[in-house]
Amino acid sequence: MDWQQVLQVIEARLPPDDLATFRRLHKSFTGYPMNHTCAAFYDFIATRELSDLLGSFRFQRMTQIGESLSTLPLKGRHVLDVGAGGGYLAEYMRDELGAQVRVTDLSTQSLRRLERSGFQLLSNQAKTFDYILCADSLGEVNSDEDDWLKAPENEGDPGYPEELEQRYGLAGKLSPLKSLLAPDGKVLLFEPVKYPGFWKGTGQLLSNRGWNTEVHDPVPTWYVSAS
């Protein structure tokens, strides 16, 4: 299903009042991507039990991320899933890969749902996590309304990493997570972006901010690990 089809199914499923709310929240989130519009949109999705439907739109994407995660030694390790959303990757890591998973998210209603699925939330846990997964979450709130990322000519610009930060704020969002990592812990950053320049730029940006970074190959999908 593509996104337009998902939207049609969601709209067909909702009663009229909810439909108006859904359209408003979707418009706010896509027009003004900020933490509060993001949280309000995903709160609505969680309370109307639409997470599975939204997940079906990303099935292939989640499979690719899962494939990358399956190559890591997660068994028995402490993992924090940041932006766990519908919890599918969190469940995969817990139930299939044997990790001990905690979750956090901007959306409190998503967190309530995750708690009902048996997940513990992030509390005060400095120096705890062997891995912190950020999968298609941190880049959702950005200020790239003129699609700078998509223009190939920007990739060669020496100022690319810093402009990337001005637009996506990935380094700023990762910074507070550093204190939660165990001594040999790593952050795993996945974003649904296929431009090699984005990954090179993200690796460079995080190195500039003091992280040890590694950019992983595009197959099955790009990601950066940082410690």
Ligand X SMILES: C[S@@+](CC[C@H](N)C(=O)[O-])C[C@H]1O[C@@H](n2cnc3c(N)ncnc32)[C@H](O)[C@@H]1O
| Residues at the site binding ligand X, with contacts judged by CB under 6 A | 38-39, 42, 62, 82-86, 88-89, 104-107, 110, 135-138, 140-141, 173
Q: Residue 191: how many CA atoms within 13 Å on its side-chain side? A: 21
Between 84 and 171, whose beta carbon lies closer to ligand X?
Answer: 84
Q: What minimum distance in Å lies between the beta carbon of 153 and ligand X? A: 28
Q: What minimum distance in Å lies between the beta carbon of 154 and ligand X? A: 23
Q: For residue 223, what are the CA distances in angstroms to 46, 92, 133, 198? A: 27, 18, 11, 10
Q: What minimum distance in Å lies between the beta carbon of 8 and ligand X? A: 19
Q: What minimum distance in Å lies between the beta carbon of 158 and ligand X? A: 28
Between 160 and 190, whose beta carbon lies closer to ligand X?
Answer: 190
Alpha-helix residue ranges (DSSP H) falling in 92-213:
108-116, 160-168, 170-174, 196-208
Cα–Cα dist 189/46, whole Å? 24
Between 130 and 140, whose beta carbon lies closer to ligand X?
Answer: 140
Q: Residue 54: how many CA atoms within 13 Å on its side-chain side? A: 16
Between 151 and 199, whose beta carbon lies closer to ligand X?
Answer: 199
**Amino acid in the structure at residue 128:** T
Contact between 86 and 110 (Cβ < 8 Å): yes
**What's the token pair of residue 202?**
């993200």
Q: What minimum distance in Å lies between the beta carbon of 83 and ligand X? A: 3
Between 151 and 179, whose beta carbon lies closer to ligand X?
Answer: 179
Q: What minimum distance in Å lies between the beta carbon of 151 and ligand X? A: 24
Residues in the chain: 227
Between 107 and 225, whose beta carbon lies closer to ligand X?
Answer: 107
Whether residue 218 is preceded by a cis peptide bond, meaning omega within 30 degrees of 0, is no
**What's the token pair of residue 157?**
């610009």
